[in-house]
Amino acid sequence: MSDLNITDQSFEGEVLKNELPVLVDFWAPWCAPCRIVSPIVEELAKEYEGKLKVGKLNVDDNPDTSARYGVMSIPSLIFFKDGKPVKTMVGAQGKENFKRGIEEVLSS
């Protein structure tokens, strides 16, 4: 479920060692575009349940992981597959655009 809050401490187990592809929403509470994207990410988590794991990582509370993956702008949605980042989408975008990104990752 997308209510999965990922932290620097849980990142390896929840994301890198996950059998499913994982979408991580790098966000912050003060970020207006993040608040726009959040309900879209929630919907996508429900639609792709069982095929894709979705979680959120607060960049203010978890600076190590954000720095490790070069997150400079938020929202940044990074797709991980087999423990590696395979696609990044930056900025507020429409649901259809995110769905195209998910389908691309799932089919690769």
Residue 91 is among the residues annotated as catalytic for this protein: no
pLDDT tens per residue, range 2-42: 468 999 999 999 999 999 999 999 999 999 999 999 999 99
Query: What percent of the chain lies above the pLDDT cut of 70?
Result: 97
| Token digits of residue 35 | 């608040």
pLDDT tens per residue, range 56-90: 999 999 999 999 999 999 999 999 999 999 999 99
Q: Which of the following is catalytic: 34, 40, 41, 89? A: 34
pLDDT at 55 over 90: yes
Residue 67 is among the residues annotated as catalytic for this protein: no
Per-residue b/e over 59-77, b at no fewer than 16 CB within 10 Å?
beebeebbeebebeebbbb
pTM score of the predicted model: 0.94
Instruction: Please report the domains of the chain, with CATH numbers, ordered by start residue.
Output: 4-107 (3.40.30.10)
